């Protein structure tokens, strides 16, 4: 029986696509690349940025690192606050806490941004641990962040008590790599097809459905 829930941030707790896609567009333009429409840049929401720039923009590692730098120029200034909390999320967090669940955030976004966003939306109070990636390595993958959260909560040897909640395949696969199950939310940035292929324990369509899963 799960007693601990690890939450992804982008696409799970907050609808952060506008700030992320506009910052990706800005980075591509700075590198002289014709930036596509914002909608098609939603593949950048959630997974680690460096690998997304290499995968979707076809950049080598050095160019992708430069793209991440440019991305952060705009994101630090404006992008992180072009963002809203999904309907019902705060109520669900409050209820889960009341039911006695231990909650943590495990995000592939750098901790530097995660803590500011959580504070901005007054969500920090619901979480025991907030774990993100490093701005400049070496902790850059979802599984590394999950491992950090488990360690900080003294749960490395109690993985059967933990469940991950996220909206992209890298949430499901990262959790699986760490030996924990994942519930996927379909209201975020991963397509139904992407999520089904990753085979989470359950797919839910709203914060209310998520709450029912943990009933």
Instruction: Read off the DSSP letter of residue 46.
Output: S
Residue 1 above 70 pLDDT?
no
Annotated active-site residue in 8, 10, 167, 171:
8
Q: What percent of the chain has pLDDT over 70?
A: 100
Q: Same domain, yes or no, for 105 and 71?
A: no
Q: Same domain, yes or no, for 159 and 208?
A: yes
Task: List helix spans (H) across 78-203.
Answer: 89-98, 111-120, 142-152, 169-177, 192-198
Residue 192 above 90 pLDDT?
yes
Q: Which residues pair with 103 in a beta bridge?
A: 5
What's the confidence (pLDDT) of residue 2?
78
Q: Same domain, yes or no, for 76 and 102?
A: no
Q: Range of 183's domain?
A: 4-15+84-213
8 is catalytic: yes
Residues of the chain by 3-state class (helix, strand, coil), percent to 5: 50, 15, 35
Tell me the C-alpha distance between 65 and 71, whole Å. 10
Whether pTM exceeds 0.85: yes
60-95 pLDDT tens trace: 999 999 999 999 999 999 999 999 999 999 999 999
- Given a contact cutoff of 8 angstroms between Cβ atoms, the answer to whether 205 and 184 are in contact is no
Residue 170's CATH number? 3.40.50.1000
Q: Same domain, yes or no, for 11 and 25?
A: no
Q: What percent of the chain has pLDDT over 90?
A: 93
129-176 pLDDT tens trace: 999 999 988 888 999 999 999 999 999 999 999 999 999 999 999 999
Residue 39's CATH number? 1.10.150.240
Mean pLDDT of the region 95-116: 97
- 16-39 as b/e: b if 16+ CB within 10 A: bbbbbbbbbbbbbebbeeebeeee
């Amino acid at each position: 029986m799960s007693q601990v829930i690890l939450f992804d941030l982008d696409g799970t707790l907050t609808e952060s696509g506008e700030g992320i896609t506009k910052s990706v567009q800005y980075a591509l333009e700075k590198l002289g690349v014709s930036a596509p429409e914002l909608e098609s840049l939603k593949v950048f929401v959630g997974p680690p940025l460096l690998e997304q720039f290499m995968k979707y923009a076809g950049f080598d590692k050095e160019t992708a690192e430069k793209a991440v730098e440019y991305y952060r120029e705009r994101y630090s200034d404006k992008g992180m606050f072009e963002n809203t909390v999904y309907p019902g999320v705060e109520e669900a967090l409050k209820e889960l806490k009341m039911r006695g669940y231990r909650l943590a955030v495990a995000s592939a976004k750098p901790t530097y941004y995660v803590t500011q966003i959580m504070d901005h939306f007054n969500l920090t109070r619901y979480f025991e641990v907030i774990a993100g990636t490093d701005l400049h390595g070496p902790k850059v993958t979802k599984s590394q962040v999950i491992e950090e959260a488990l360690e900080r909560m003294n749960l490395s040897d109690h993985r059967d008590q933990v469940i991950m909640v996220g909206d992209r395949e890298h949430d499901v696969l990262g959790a699986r790599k760490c030996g924990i199950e994942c519930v996927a939310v379909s209201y975020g940035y991963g397509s139904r097809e992407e999520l089904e292929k990753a085979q989470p324990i359950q797919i839910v369509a709203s914060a209310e459905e998520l709450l029912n899963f943990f009933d």
